Amino acid sequence: MTAPVATFGRLLGALEDLVAQEAALLAGEDYAGMRKAQDRAEPLVAELARLGAAVATPAIRPRLDALLARRRQNLERLTSRIGQVRDALRDAQARQRRIAQVVPAYVGQITIGSQRKLSAQG
């Protein structure tokens, strides 16, 4: 095995590990950790791309295809989660607007009630 081919294999293995970590972090909703994993993957991807044309072999293709499929799954799950969070945020904002609309009515009642004096009758 030539040095570039061996390097490509090691880098690909490291990237496979990072993509697996990314999936675990995504499942645990650790988005900061996921971002760190993506940052660590960036130089690996750049070096794999640089080496790729020179050392890509048909034997490597199934590993690359599997890696891309896992990465695509991660992105689909992340996209779905982003949609869920956006929907929840929209719902929370709508509730906040509704509350802001009714608060003045309650504030007025509280102010009127605090102006009343207690009277004890016996």
Which domain does 47 fall in, by range?
3-111
Within-domain flag for 122: no
**Residue 75 identity:** L
> 3-state SS of 21-76?
HHHHHHHCCCHHHHHHHHHHHHHHHHHHHHHHHHHCCCCCHHHHHHHHHHHHHHHH
- Domain membership flag for residue 62: yes
Count of structural domains, the chain: 1
For residue 116, being part of any structural domain is answered with no
Per-residue pLDDT of the chain (122 residues; tens, 9 = 90+): 578 888 899 999 999 999 999 999 999 999 999 999 999 999 999 999 998 877 877 888 899 999 999 999 999 999 999 999 999 999 999 999 999 988 887 776 665 555 555 556 65
Kindly state whether residue 119 falls inside one of the protein's structural domains. Answer: no
Q: Is 0.85 surpassed by the pTM of this model?
A: no
Is 48 within a domain?
yes
**Confidence at residue 120, expressed as pLDDT on a 0 to 100 scale:** 60
Q: Of 43, 42, 41, 51, whose CA–CA distance to 19 is shortest? A: 41
pLDDT at 112: 56
